[in-house]
């Protein structure tokens, strides 16, 4: 009885081929997932021994060979906050235009295309743009705020894209309800639509900050310096030279001898922690938005 | 409140609303302005190399080295665009050879084979991978990949070569490829797959002969955007490609792509030097290269969107 329905050799071959091909896609997936684990494991196992209160909360001594990296950590935070302060209002305003005001047409197509292309511009080109714009056009000195503004230019595309998605996802009925009560379009947008889209916008902002924190090439071009003790008063610090964790790590890789190996990995660990905190919060927030909207 | 009052209040409100609405519109123009500004400033700074500093255009286009000396003498300046350009192409080639099979295969797995929950997990993992700073990749690559390249394959200088850099850049580019390829596969309508199943095809046949051909535009765009990412990647190639400024004959040699040339030369370039405008010119070439790759990828994606209405 069973022989009548036994798979023919041809079907068996097909099944085998299917198993082999799909099995290799599983393999590829593992190859993608593995580097995350390898990078985190390697950085933690080599850098954890360097992390002491002194390493985190003291200023550098003997050109960073002793002491800690407190100024770099604080200036990185200032730099990121400032970059967000530049990029978020501009980016959200642009997203509001695209999602709420723009009518289908040539202008909208051009702006959309522009944003796609801004997202594809290499980070080092943003660095060159920052250098040309701030040092040659505006004639200002190298400083932390210039580095922040450069990072903000790069972050703009991410903020716009995610904020636009979040605004479009708000159901039209909510807007219409407000408009029907006689509320003006702008106020509807600012006080009704925007709060609804808020979690989605925050997700995009967190991702953008995470990207900016890890970005090295642009600040390399606009002139960052290695760890130095400076006045940590925000106003003075922003006008002083940029110090950032990502650049600190790059500088220490190339420095070579005389700088303890585990201190380099310690910087990598601090950088990775900062970046992943922003990144993972964004992922968690988005997951929660998705599971909320599914209900 | 009388109707007159209401109208008056409404007008007063409009007085505040209108300027705010106009500034919102202005930000859209700001993005266009930035994109145009980038190219304009790169060219304005870059073209000074030929106009003010008297460096010959043909020498820039043909010279077989790209030395980032800080010189002001156009006869002693030895910088051509070809070596960094070829180095960039080698690194990008290796990146694509590694990243495209892995990326597309992963996208096929999470979109067609895996449970939706597994798909979500892998997508998060890919995003974590995308979140790792490239300078950290460069550093880990220096510790783990470069020694193996030297011992096992004997490539490059101390394991630093175009292949080493390309291999590590592949992991920078792969999350982008997965994300776009997965979107493309997911966009293929269900009934297309089901028709093929009804004709007796198995999952493998449906995936290869129905789903993937239907998603071909999206898959192409994924590869192109991954390529743009590889062309523009800086820190990994700066640390791992080796840094030799002459023309690389093949991917096993030490080389210095465009991004790494800019990053390593810009720091000590003075205002009057020839190297500063030369690096801006290199940046302009880099910009044009990635601009057109992204532009074409977007057109290709648009085709898929129109086809499946999403």
The reply to whether residue A111 touches residue B31, judged by beta carbons under 8 angstroms, is: yes
This complex has an ipTM of 0.91
Cβ contact B109–A214 (<8 Å): no
Q: In this model, does residue A256 exceed pLDDT 70? A: no
Chain B residues in contact with A283 by the CB 8 A cut-off are 124, 127-128
pLDDT tens-place string over residues A213-255: 999 999 999 988 888 888 888 888 888 888 999 999 998 888 7
Look at residue B9 and tell me whether its pLDDT is greater than 80. no
Q: Could you tell me if A280 and A213 are in contact, meaning their C-beta atoms sit under 8 angstroms apart?
A: no
Enter the tokens of residue B4: 């007159």
Q: Answer yes or no: are the C-beta atoms of B42 and A132 closer than 8 Å.
A: yes
- Distance of alpha carbon A208 from alpha carbon A92, whole angstroms: 13
Q: How far is CA B122 from each of CA A258, B97, B111, B115, rounded to the nearest angstrom?
A: 41, 22, 10, 11
Tell me which long-range contacts A181-190 makes (C-beta under 8 A, separation of at least 24): A184/B10, A184/B13, A184/B14, A184/B17, A185/A100, A185/B17, A185/B21, A186/B17, A186/B20, A186/B21, A187/B13, A187/B17, A189/A96, A189/A100
Q: Are A63 and B159 in contact (CB under 8 A)?
A: no
Q: Cα separation of B43 and B277, whole Å? A: 9
Q: Which residues of B touch A21 (CB under 8 A)?
A: 204
| Backbone φ, ψ for residue A108 (5° rounding) | -60, -40
Nearest-by-Cβ selection for A279 from B122, B131, B287: B131
For residue A215, which residues of chain B lie inside 8 Å, CB to CB? 133
Q: Which residue has the higher pLDDT, A6 or B190?
A: B190
Write a three-state SS string for B96-144.
Answer: HHHHHHHHHHHHHHHHHHCCHHHHHHHHHHHHHHHHCCHHHHHHHHHHH
Torsion of CA B247, B96, B282, A212, to 10 degrees: -140
Q: Which residues of B touch A126 (CB under 8 A)?
A: 38
Element housing A61 (H / E): strand A60-61
* Whole-angstrom Cα Rg for chain B: 25
B12 touches chain A (CB under 8 A): no
User: Does pLDDT of A1 surpass 50?
Assistant: no
Residue of A nearest to B139 (CA): A253
Q: Give the tens place of pLDDT for each residue, A191-215.
A: 999 999 999 999 999 999 999 999 9
Instruction: State the smallest CA–CA distance between residue B228 and chain A in angstroms.
Output: 7
Contacts of residue A261, Cβ cutoff 8 Å, sequence gap at least 6: A46
Q: What does the pLDDT read at residue A75?
A: 93
**pLDDT value at position A3?**
57
pLDDT digits (tens, 9 = 90+) for B157-194: 778 899 999 999 999 999 999 999 999 999 999 899 99
Q: Give the pLDDT of residue A4.
A: 61
Of B28, B109, B298, the CB nearest to A94: B28
Smallest Cα distance from A242 to chain B, Å: 14
Reported as a single tens digit per residue, the pLDDT across A133-144 is 999 899 898 899
Residue in A closest to B280 by C-alpha: A128
pLDDT per residue as tens digits for the range B246-305: 888 888 888 999 999 999 988 888 888 888 999 999 999 999 999 999 999 999 988 888
For residue A233 the two structure tokens come to 């008063």
Q: Do the Cβ atoms of B234 and A118 come within 8 Å?
A: no
Distance to chain A for B249, nearest Cα, Å: 25
Residue B289 contacts A, CB cutoff 8 Å: no
Q: What is the pLDDT of residues B45-95, one digit of tens each?
A: 999 888 888 888 888 888 888 888 877 888 888 888 999 999 999 999 999
CA distances from B242 to A34, A267, A270, B253 (A): 25, 23, 27, 8
Q: Which residue of B has its CA nearest to A119?
A: B294
pLDDT tens digit string along A36-68? 999 999 999 998 888 888 888 888 888 778 888
| Cβ neighbours, 10 Å, residue B152 | 9
Q: Select from B75, B132, B81 the least CA-distant residue to A246.
A: B132
* Residue A243 φ/ψ, nearest 5 degrees: -130, 125
CA of A53: how far to CAs of A102, A291, B23, in Å?
Answer: 52, 39, 47
For an interface test with A, the pick among B6, B9, B24 (most A C-beta atoms closer than 10 Å) comes out as B24
Say yes or no to pLDDT of A167 above 80: yes
In this predicted structure, the answer to whether residue B131 has a pLDDT above a threshold of 50 is yes
d(CA B82, CA A124): 19
pLDDT for res B1: 60
Count CB neighbours of B62 within 10 A.
11
């Amino acid at each position: 009885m069973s022989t009548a329905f036994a798979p023919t050799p041809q079907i068996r071959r097909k099944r085998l081929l299917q198993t082999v091909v799909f099995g290799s896609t599983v393999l590829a997936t593992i190859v993608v997932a593995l580097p995350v684990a390898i990078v985190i494991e390697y950085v933690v196992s080599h850098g954890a021994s360097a992390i002491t209160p002194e390493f985190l909360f003291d200023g550098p001594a003997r050109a960073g060979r002793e002491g800690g990296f407190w100024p770099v950590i604080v200036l990185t935070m200032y730099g990121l906050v400032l970059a967000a302060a530049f990029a978020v209002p501009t980016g959200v305003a642009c997203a509001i235009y695209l999602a709420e005001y723009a009518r289908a047409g040539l202008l909208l197509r051009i702006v959309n295309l522009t944003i796609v292309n801004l997202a594809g511009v290499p980070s080092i080109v943003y660095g060159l743009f920052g250098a040309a714009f701030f040092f040659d056009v505006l004639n200002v000195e190298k400083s932390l705020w210039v580095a922040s503004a450069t990072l903000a230019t790069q972050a703009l595309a991410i903020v716009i894209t995610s904020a636009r998605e979040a605004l479009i996802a708000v159901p039209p009925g909510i807007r219409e309800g407000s408009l029907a009560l006689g509320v003006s379009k702008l106020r509807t947008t600012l006080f009704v639509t925007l709060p609804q889209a808020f979690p989605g916008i925050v997700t995009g902002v967190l991702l953008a900050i995470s990207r900016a924190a890890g970005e090295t090439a642009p600040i390399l071009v606009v002139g960052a310096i290695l760890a130095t003790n400076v006045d940590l008063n925000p106003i003075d610090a922003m006008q002083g030279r940029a110090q950032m964790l990502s650049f600190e790590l790059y500088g220490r890789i190339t420095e070579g001898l005389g700088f303890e190996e585990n201190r380099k990995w310690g910087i990598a660990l601090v950088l990775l922690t900062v970046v992943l905190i922003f990144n993972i919060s964004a992922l968690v927030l988005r997951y929660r938005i998705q599971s909320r909207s599914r209900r | 409140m009388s109707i007159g009052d209401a109208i008056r209040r409404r007008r007063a409100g409009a007085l505040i609303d209108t300027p705010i609405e106009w500034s919102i519109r202005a930000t859209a123009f700001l993005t266009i302005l930035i994109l145009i500004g980038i190219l304009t400033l790169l060219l304005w700074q870059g073209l000074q190399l030929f106009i003010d500093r008297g460096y010959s255009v043909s020498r820039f286009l043909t010279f077989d080295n790209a030395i980032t000396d800080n010189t002001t003498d156009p006869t002693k300046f030895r910088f051509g665009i070809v070596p960094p350009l070829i180095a960039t192409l080698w690194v990008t080639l290796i990146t694509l050879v590694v990243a495209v099979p892995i990326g597309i295969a992963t996208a096929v797995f999470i979109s067609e084979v895996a449970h939706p929950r597994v798909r979500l997990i892998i997508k998060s993992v890919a995003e974590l991978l995308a979140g790792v700073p490239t300078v950290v990749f460069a550093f880990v690559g220096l510790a783990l990949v470069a020694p193996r390249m030297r011992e096992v394959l004997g490539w490059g200088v101390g394991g630093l070569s175009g292949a080493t850099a390309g291999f590590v850049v592949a992991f920078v580019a792969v999350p982008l490829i997965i994300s776009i390829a997965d979107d493309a596969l997911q966009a293929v309508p269900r009934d297309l797959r089901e028709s093929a199943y009804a004709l007796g095809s198995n999952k493998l046949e449906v995936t290869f002969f129905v789903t993937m051909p239907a998603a071909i535009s999206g898959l192409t765009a994924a590869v192109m955007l991954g390529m743009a990412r590889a062309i523009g990647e800086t820190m990994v190639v700066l640390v791992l490609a080796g840094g030799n400024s002459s023309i690389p004959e093949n991917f096993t040699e030490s080389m210095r792509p465009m991004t790494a040339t800019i990053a390593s030369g810009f720091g000590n370039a003075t205002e009057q030097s020839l190297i500063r405008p030369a690096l801006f010119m290199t940046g302009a070439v880099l910009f044009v290269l990635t601009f057109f790759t992204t532009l074409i990828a977007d057109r290709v994606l648009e085709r898929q969107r129109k086809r499946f209405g999403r």
